[in-house]
Structure 1
Amino acid sequence: MAATAPSDVSTDLIIVGGGPAGCAAALMAASVGTRSLVVEADALCAKLRHIRVVGNVVGGHSSGPELAAAIAGDLERSGRCEALLGVRATRIDAFEEYTAVTLDTGRRLLAPYAVVATGAGPLPVADAPWLTVADGAAVPTLWGAEADGDRPGPLLVLGADRPLGTFLRAHPALESAVLVAYPPGDDHKADEVRDDRRVELLPVTSLLVRAGGDGRFTVEWTDRGGRRGARTAGSAYLNLGSAPAPPAGALVTDGAGYCPPSLQHPRVLTAGDLRSPRFQRIMAATGSGAEAALRAYYARQDVPTAGGSGSDR
């Protein structure tokens, strides 16, 4: 295919992913007169709508659904953004003068630049070498879980990833002890919940979970000092962290599968949780989305920006 830009471009900017980062990119693009097209497989800010309590965003919003509705309303009022919902981008190609985004419907979208903000999803048990779940026991993820006050405690959480803090803030009346078992790599994540009186932290090197016939779980572990222990829990949730799932094509990944901005083609800008696991927060995602849209705008205007193509910030 020729590298020169075709005449049938779809819009000024294609944004793949309609979460906080993608929506922020669309809003920033609209503010500088840039038309954008947001491609989202679900609803706008769909994951955000499952977060009952948010405490680290500006604007006075205290719940995920409230913030998601406000973002969607802002996007609708912008007048320069079109949202394609219920479709998935399966491939992104980058050429000298334009980008092409292929959808699962077979449609191909063209634009001078693309912002990719497809985020990250829950890690499977197979990617947690410290954890073994015996006999295929069904352990749901903590993301979006509701506390069941009728079940006996403690509540076992496998991993100290950030949904744990969200869960505890969303359930202030939960009185059950929360046993958090986590590997060395999660030490810094446990800081968010270390002072919660309900939480008992269990740093381990390995842990085995078995489901009992009464709906309870038996846990056996080896701690950091090599000591073994065992306990019974009334319920259990997976909270292992997240992994990116970028579309095929032009995106360049690092050793962990993330897509830092500095590695990408000049016409492809990454934003939000897709960039790095270090800054997976709503405010960080929205800031990176806005920055990506501005980079595309300045590049189209041939205005140089400091710092090159960006970092994993």
Structure 2
Amino acid sequence: MNNNTRFKKPLRRLLYGASAVLILFYLIVLYLGLKPDVGVEYEMYYISHEISEWPGYGNLSYDYGQVEYLTENTYRNSDGKYVSHPVARRRGDGWHTSGRFDGTWSNDEESILYYIFNEDTNKVTISITVKDYLTEYGFVRANSGLTMKDAAVLSKQRKSADKIVSGTIETAIIAATDEGNSHRSWVLKVINLAKEANANGEELTLLSVASAFPSESLRRASYTGCEYVEPSTDGTCSVDIYLGETYIGTFNQPGEFEFSVDADIVKDELYELKFVSDEDTSFLLWKVNITNQ
């Protein structure tokens, strides 16, 4: 056996051993990457992207009775001063992620907050404050004087008015009837208005057409483009709340709401507080408080 052969065998064993160690190292790294031993906050923010902001380790935990605000770190109050609030950094999918100084707008059919409760309980009371509420018909306000049904008619009338402004008397008649505005008195008013404007050599504006609308609230909304409507009475344009799979309650306008429900809450488990909105419905959530009473 020559010297080369004598040195090659140990060197080969050494290289095989080093390769085996590297393979084992990569397998361990791969396993840890697939099953990382990290906190739930880290996993939901950096890996699964289920939450939209970094809450900090342990900050998905929740003590009953802790009032949290759906805002940024600071908020400008009515006096123009900045004040600090305990922020609910537990927002998942379905929320706007910027401009959240007066609350957070929902922007999807499902908007989720995540909670890990620090105590077992079999009953919870959820209190929320909703600052604003928007549907396809306008901003919802109690006692606004305009129902959603009327607002739907108004929407058709506005489309007709837009056509009238840029068209002729004939176009006005067609627009009024095509958009479903078959109310004879309204159509006649529009026709007369168009004739009068033409006779005087005046421009037929959206504001002048709006004067033919049947009520002050409709006229006002027609040219401001921002109407206020009454809450729905038929269950549409509403938001349902669920804690896990348990139905909590429903709201359909701004205000302060409190919902109590029997629910088996297990300590240290992850729960979803889910807001399920009807289509074209959004709300501005300001604060949340959950108690075990």
TM-based fold match above 0.5? no
Q: Which has the higher contact order (CA 8 A, sep 6+)?
A: 2
Q: If the length of structure 2 is used for normalisation, what is the TM-score?
A: 0.30
Larger of the two Rg values belongs to structure: 2
More helix per residue: 2
